[in-house]
Amino acid sequence: MARNVNFDLNHPLMEAGLESPVDEEVVHNSFNQLIAEQSQNELTDAFELQQLQRDLDEEGQDNVPYLSSPDYRERLQGQREDEWQDDERQTDPIRGEHWSSATLKILSSMPSRTIGRSRGAIISQYYNRTMQLRRRRQSRPSIRDFSRSARPSIRGYGMEGDCTDTEVTKRERLVNNLQNLSVSDRVRMLRAMPLSVAEKSELRTLALQKERRIFSGSQIPCCSQLKYYIIIAVRQSWYSWLSFLHSLHLWQVALKRVSGRFGTGVLSYFLFLKTLLFFNLFLFLVTGAFLVLPQAVHPPVLPAVKRSFSGLELLTGAGYLSDTVMYYGYYCNYTLHRSCRDDGREQNISLSNGTRLDCMSKHLSYNMPLAYFFTIGVAFFITCIILVYSMSKSFGQSFRIDKSHSILAVKVFCSWDFKVIKKTSVKLMSENICTQLKELLAEVNHKHVKNTGCQKVWRLTVQGIAWAICIAGTICCVIGIYFFSHYMHKNLQQTSRSPLASQNALLNEASLLALPVVVSLINLLLPGLFNLAAWMEDYESPSVCTYVAIGRNLMLKVSVLCVLCYHWLGRVAADLNHFMCWESFVGQELYRFLLMDFIFTLLDTLLGEFLWRLFSMRVLKRRRKPVFDIARNVLELIYGQTLAWLGVLFTPLLPVVQLIKLLLLFYIKKSSVMMNCQAPRKPYRVSQMTTIFITLLCFPSFLGASVCVTYTMWSITPSSSCGPFRGLKTMFQAGKRWVEELEKDNPNLSVLARAHSYLVENPFFLFVGAGIFLIVIYFHSQVVDGQRKIISLLQEQIENEGEDKKFLITRLQSIHEQKRTPARRLTSQDSS
């Protein structure tokens, strides 16, 4: 990036251009001289023609090969440079030496050389550039290709070149050149001009008017008109299609409104909710296409006694819903296919009931246990890949170097989109930009207060007490959930043994809601204790307070989920005597937890936001509204998504429930935020919050759900009376049995059996795959960190180069003043 530049202090531009940096007239003259020197290369051909005509008139001979030879051109160029130097010495004796071309190029590109430029100088410069573009695109024959009589007469060309064009003439020439350029070159040239928007628009209008006059004066053929109409129609259709696709973006206007009023912190919550919506949509499509739809088309034989629908099933998920495709126990353990039409009717037949092979071979079959096993496994694997990719991409976007000063300048000068014309869109964009500027200004003006030793000790003491209160509260709640779940499990066992269980069926079914209600109540109330502890700590930065709240809520959610997973996979799955189908019971439990979480979220929105706003405004007579709690609401989303991932094995349609919950939650939360909440009193920018959300969704949430599902499929014995894996020791044996049958039918597929035994049965490769993913994430984070360091070094180098330029210009100015001072003294002495 460095370049050796030889500064000549005796050059005339040093005398005229550096006498006063703020003298605009001197700067104009110097810059016009630079433009004249830059345009010397463009006038080379004209002077060459002029000299050629003079020689031909004087000598009367036509030696074209000699005239076009390089020796003649070099001699002619040297003569012309000598003449110009003599003229300069005669007009100004001070101009004895000149700067090099590299020096002139560097000085002309410096920002200081463009200060105070006149509009005429700008038009002249871009007139020369348009001429260069035209000459590049148009091939011109050499003069030696013409005969002597066909050569152009250029007498008087020198007199015309010596005359200075007025600004109007320059403007007309620039318009002519713009009209002759292509559309892309014209737009690019107009954008590069340092003129106002009104002047650029005027130049563009003049160029288009001349172009229209030319087109109107000449008759365009019918084929050309048809071609132009087709091109215009196709282009308009393409732009309309792009606008339609852009309008299909989910919740685009709503997200802009939230961002404009509440900033990027609240916006990150809704963007995260949108991300979870797409994850659940993917799970629903996979399970619906490969599990639910085939089983719904070929329903199994149900017991003769059917349960009636009472309405309570919508809350408990039990009763009538137990015998539907929603739960694990409904799915069959045989291969689905159509039998031969022996008696004119169709029925579902399994592989183990003695069906004729010649009949089965004529139809496609569908192995439901194998499909169930691989569908869940592939869905989790693809979700893992998407999460890892999203996390690595988010790392690259959020942990880059983004200094607030530079972003603030970009937001001030480059953030407005001039294509926006609707009033509502203009209002939304202005609110969004205003909020972002507030956040950036708050980050720029943020000052780190230096505390004394006693203040630091006091702050650490308060923070330690706050964390002790939060950890103690979490431990007490987790212990309470553990013992209460044990009590409910014992109570369920006693109820199932009681002979009066059938008489109190509705009451027993309603009692199943006790554990989900208690857990949801703890998740609702304990974050209030965390907020009280944060108020005691009194953090200076709002972003730090948000991250601390996320950590505490995460501690609570992870502890609760660990106790619940132990309850489901340790107690319920081991008690095969009292549960005919424990997988369906666990699926019903997860449905109840997901539904209760949604209901208590609505209660929190009603009590914590709406009623508090009414109480504050009407009773306390204050205009203050509650602030949206980002940490608690985000952890609620992660908690619900973890439940959905845990339950997809036991309830294939649980992603549909989560999908409906997220859709309703978005509109309810958006309305509550816009009506009941206020923006944070201290605006702050959260550049890394989305990355933290994706990371928490990947590692504690998805990783924990994957471990539980893998443990269930590899280690726990499935129910013997229901589900696609009945009669097997583990769910994993479904794939192993299928591979053995393939090897038995076709010995050539023994390689597939060995690959299955080494890659699937051996958990070592599962850990290797997880390790590879972690290594990829680690290397990507290291690459991003290295890029950050390189960018910081480059920014520091740019700042140093700016200081170098200031230093050089200051030194040049001081040397120039030192040289000018003796001359002024001599002049004053001579005048005296």
pLDDT digits (tens, 9 = 90+) for 41-52: 444 444 444 454
* Domain-located, residue 793: no
Q: Quick one: pLDDT at residue 321?
A: 87
What percent of the chain stands above pLDDT 90?
23
Residue 437's identity, in one-letter code, is L
* Domain-located, residue 437: yes
Task: Summarize the confidence of residues 458-481 as an average pLDDT.
Answer: 94
Asked whether the beta carbons of 571 and 489 are under 8 A apart, the reply is yes
Q: Quick one: pLDDT at residue 41?
A: 44
> Could you tell me if 326 and 191 lie in one domain?
no
Q: Is the pLDDT of residue 38 over 50?
A: no
> Could you tell me if 448 and 589 lie in one domain?
yes
Structure tokens belonging to residue 599: 């209901």
> Could you tell me if 189 and 325 lie in one domain?
no
Domain hosting residue 465, numbered range: 263-301+310-337+363-498+505-729
Cα(652)–Cα(689) distance, rounded to whole angstroms?
31
Question: What totals of helices (H) and strands (E) does the chain contain, helices first?
Answer: 32, 2
For the chain, the farthest-separated pair of C-alpha atoms sits apart, in whole angstroms, at 134
> Could you tell me if 532 and 660 lie in one domain?
yes
* Domain-located, residue 8: no
> Could you tell me if 327 and 190 lie in one domain?
no
User: pLDDT (tens digit, 9 = 90+) per residue, 343-400?
Assistant: 334 444 343 333 333 444 445 678 899 899 999 999 998 998 899 888 877 776 665 5
544-564: burial string, b at 16+ Cβ within 10 Å, e else: ebbbbbbebbbbbbbbbbebb
Cα(755)–Cα(120) distance, rounded to whole angstroms?
78
The residues facing 336 across adjacent strands are 366
> Could you tell me if 472 and 387 lie in one domain?
yes
* Domain-located, residue 752: no
* Other C-beta atoms lying within 10 Å of the C-beta of residue 60: 7
Q: Is the pLDDT of residue 16 over 50?
A: no
* Domain-located, residue 45: no
**Confidence band, pLDDT 50/70/90 cuts, at residue 468:** very high
* Domain-located, residue 771: no
Task: Summarize the confidence of residues 107-130 as an average pLDDT.
Answer: 57
Which of these three, 670, 695, 729, is where a domain ends?
729
Average pLDDT for the chain: 75
> Could you tell me if 711 and 573 lie in one domain?
yes
Asked whether the beta carbons of 724 and 333 are under 8 A apart, the reply is yes
Greater confidence, 180 or 75? 180
Cα(808)–Cα(4) distance, rounded to whole angstroms?
13
> Could you tell me if 547 and 672 lie in one domain?
yes
CA distance to 68, 139, 147, 151, 554, per residue, from 142 (Å): 9, 10, 11, 10, 79
- Please give the model's pTM, rounded to 2 decimal places: 0.70
> Could you tell me if 189 and 273 lie in one domain?
no
The residues facing 335 across adjacent strands are 367
> Could you tell me if 195 and 277 lie in one domain?
no
Residue in the block written with tokens 């009367």: 60
CA distance to 107, 409, 415, 796, 814, per residue, from 800 (Å): 18, 20, 28, 6, 21
Cα(36)–Cα(266) distance, rounded to whole angstroms?
57
**Confidence band, pLDDT 50/70/90 cuts, at residue 606:** confident
**Confidence band, pLDDT 50/70/90 cuts, at residue 74:** low
Q: Is the pLDDT of residue 327 over 90?
A: yes
Which of these three, 159, 187, 202, is where a domain ends?
202
For the ranges 81-90, 101-110, 792-801, the lowest mean pLDDT is seen at 81-90
Q: Is the pLDDT of residue 532 over 80?
A: yes
* Other C-beta atoms lying within 10 Å of the C-beta of residue 423: 8
Q: Quick one: pLDDT at residue 525?
A: 92
Asked whether the beta carbons of 759 and 616 are under 8 A apart, the reply is no
* Domain-located, residue 467: yes
Asked whether the beta carbons of 333 and 726 are under 8 A apart, the reply is yes
Which of these three, 159, 183, 202, is where a domain ends?
202
- Taking Cα atoms as reference points, which of 261, 263, 256 lies closest to residue 417? 256
Task: Summarize the confidence of residues 4-17 as an average pLDDT.
Answer: 37
> Could you tell me if 567 and 695 lie in one domain?
yes
In the chain, % helix, strand, coil (3-state, to 5) comes to 75, 0, 25
Q: What angle do CA 499, 504, 509 make, to 5 degrees?
A: 115
Asked whether the beta carbons of 402 and 687 are under 8 A apart, the reply is yes
* Domain-located, residue 242: no
* Other C-beta atoms lying within 10 Å of the C-beta of residue 667: 11
Asked whether the beta carbons of 778 and 387 are under 8 A apart, the reply is no
Task: Count structural domains, the chain.
Answer: 2
User: pLDDT (tens digit, 9 = 90+) per residue, 699-709?
Assistant: 889 999 999 99
> Could you tell me if 681 and 567 lie in one domain?
yes
- 3-class SS at 348? strand
